[in-house]
Structure 1
Amino acid sequence: MCLAFLGPAIVLATANMNRIRSYTYAHRRVAQLKEHECQIAIEDVMFMLIFYRFSEIKVPLVPRLSRCIYNGRLEIRPSKDWELESIHSLEILEMVKEHVTTVTGLRADSSVTDNWATTKITRLMLGRVYVASILYGYFLKSASLRHRLEQSLASVNQDLRLGHKPPLQFQELCPYGLTSLLFGRISSMRCVSSNQEVKHESLKCYVMGFDPETLQRCAKLRSKEAVSLIENHSHALFGDEKTGLVETDEVILTSFSSLKRLVSEAVAFGTFLWDTEEYIDSVYKLKENK
């Protein structure tokens, strides 16, 4: 009798447990979908902000490569060299030009003939060069801000040692936060006007002095949204039109001028990405890229 009574109860309890598990899974799945939709929306906003920064300097982003191939040759016109270089400081621009030369083999003083000479490169390699250049632009932005901050703090310390009142007290800096310190208030910090001036180290020398940990910290993308944005953008740009895959051995004939345009755009993209990520993270907490 007892077993006969417990049988249906066990079946009912098992059914209820299965129903609860189903509800839990459904709620978890809905939460995951909402989170995914939110991330896509954030990435879209980030891309539009980057797109806007390019529009400010009147540089259209390169479209899907297949739209730039004419008679079997990839050509990206106009070059927009001046506009893409105008966003960088002189110190950063020097390093950007070295990067372009290293990647393309095209010297800064190359002739028009050299610029329009052709070379062959696989679609896969071109995509890798583009992504690497984005990361380099991101790194330069991060390193340059770190450099400016350390130079400014060195000036303050020099003032203190010489008995001068620093232009900004610690209490003044705190309310504005790190972003204001880096982008606004830091510019008002004057140099030491004395015989013992603070030695100015160039950005290039400063970066070359990085230890591996500091180098990785400056080069690493801070958010998962930034990682996903770069992946999606590179796939949209270099992916095969039919399969969407970047991993293809297709060989592309192009000019050195077009290569330079792609690399310069990528570096600028990385620079704008750093700014955009910083801004978005101030209003919406981005996911940390661990």
Structure 2
Amino acid sequence: MYLLILYKFSEIRVPMVPKLCSCLYNGRLEILPSKDWELESIHSLEVLNTIKEHVTNVTGLRPKSSVNESWATTKIRHFLLGRVYVASILYGYFLKSVSLRYRLEQNLSLSNHDLRLGHETAVRWFEDTIFGDSSNMQSTGQGLVQQEEEIEDIKSYVMRFHTGSLHRCDKFRYKEGVNLVGSYSSALFKNFESGLVENDDDILTSFSSLKRLVLEAIAFGTILWETEDYIDNLYKLKDN
């Protein structure tokens, strides 16, 4: 599973972040290169807008920040950075699940709309043929189309989830995925404290490095969902 995830990252030409202790320079954590565009390229437009909002909430960096703002330094606690990373993996995993459901409901909504429109067009043709011009009648197909509600964005779609649906989407589906996230995140943060120069609690880093770490975690979660789906079709995974 991990090798498939590595392969997916190689397809978008993104080298995954090594152990964070190897990214320390004079006590400052820097992750280079940023690879923001490549990490964002795997997401659909509606999902990407939600991801940008998540990145802003987590890092405090605005979507259209200047270079100086991106490279400005900030401090974050070590334990909090680990939690943000794992939470962002789960967030990417969640968004992948939700986006597929969202797209399915969109397609079903459009299909139902086409069926209703076809039905109303046939009725109107029949009335015009039998009774003459029915353009002044109130129950025209055009009127029904205008009353059709617009399809909401993915954020509003998630907001109206009932508790059961939300709970099914906000956790990992298989035990193998849970174990992989646990072992991978542990390896990423292993020996991190011992590499810090000044403070074991606070890490000095740039907003750009924080953004890279969060975007990679989200991409990891998204690719993990796809990888699980592929493997489960070949070898049955254990339900979580």
Gaps of 5+ in 2: 120-140
Give the drift of 1:242: 9.0
Matching residue within 212, 235, 240 for 1:284? 235
Task: Provide, for residues 77-119 of structure 1, a one-character-per-residue CA deviation record: whole Å limited to 9, x for no partner.
Answer: 1100111111111101100000000000000111111111111
1:56 aligns with 11
Is 1:268 the equivalent of 2:219? yes
8 Å Cα contact 1:137/1:266 also seen in 2: yes
Q: Which has the higher contact order (CA 8 A, sep 6+)?
A: 2
Contact 1:119–1:253 (Cα < 8 Å) also in 2: yes
2:91 corresponds to which residue?
Answer: 136
Structure 2 residue identity aligned to 1:278: D
Match of residue 184 from structure 2? 233
Residue identity over aligned pairs, in percent, reads 65
Where in structure 2 are the equivalents of 1:1-80 lying within 5 Å?
46-80=1-35
Which aligned pairs between 1:64-103 and structure 2 lie closer than 5 A?
64-103=19-58
SS at structure 2 position matched to 1:78: coil
* Amino acid paired to 1:232: S
Residues 174-253 of structure 1 mapped to structure 2, 5 A cutoff: 195=142, 196=145, 199-240=150-191, 250-253=201-204
Q: Please, which of 239, 254, 259 is the counterpart of residue 210 of structure 2?
A: 259
2:164 alignment partner AA: E
- Does the 8 A contact of 2:193 with 2:200 survive in 1? no
Rounded Cα–Cα distance in structure 2 between residues aligned with 1:277 and 1:212 = 24
Question: Compared with structure 1, are the counterparts of its residues 214 and 63 closer, same or farther at alpha carbon in structure 2 (3 Å cutoff)?
Answer: same
Please list the CA deviations of residues 11-33 of structure 1 after superposition, one character each: whole Å capped at 9, or x if unmatched. Answer: xxxxxxxxxxxxxxxxxxxxxxx
SS in 1 for 2:3: helix
Q: 2 CA distance for matches of 1:287 and 1:101?
A: 35
Shift of 1:75: 0.3
* Partners of 2:98 and 2:169 within 8 A in 1: yes
Partners of 1:84 and 1:240 lie apart in 2 by 26
Q: Which AA in structure 2 matches 1:277?
A: E
User: Which blocks of at least 5 consecutive residues in structure 1 are unaligned?
Assistant: 1-45, 165-193
Aligned position for 1:152: 107
Distance 1:242 1:200, change over 3 A: closer
Contact preservation (8 Å) 2:20, 2:192: no
- Aligned residue pairs: how many? 211
Distance in 2 between residues matched to 1:202 and 1:131, nearest whole Å: 26
- Summarize the Cα distance change of 1:112–1:241 in structure 2 as closer, same or farther, 3 Å threshold: closer
Q: TM-score normalized by structure 1?
A: 0.69
* C-alpha separation in 2, matches of 1:241 and 1:157: 54
Cα distance in 2 between the residues matched to 1:133 and 1:276 = 17
Structure exhibiting the larger radius of gyration computed from Cα positions? 1
Structure 2: distance between partners of 1:110 and 1:241: 29
Counterpart AA for 2:228: E
In structure 1, how many angstroms separate the alpha carbons of the residues matched to 2:117 and 2:226? 36
| Residue 144 to residue 255, structure 1, CA distance change in 2 (3 Å) | same
What secondary structure is seen at the aligned counterpart in 2 of 1:106? coil
Give 1:160 shift: 3.1
* SS at structure 2 position matched to 1:222: coil
Measured against aligned partners, the alpha-carbon deviations of 1:237-281 in whole angstroms (never above 9, x if no partner) come to: 0122699xxxx9542111111000000000000110010010111
Q: Which residue of 2 is the match for residue 122 of structure 1?
A: 77
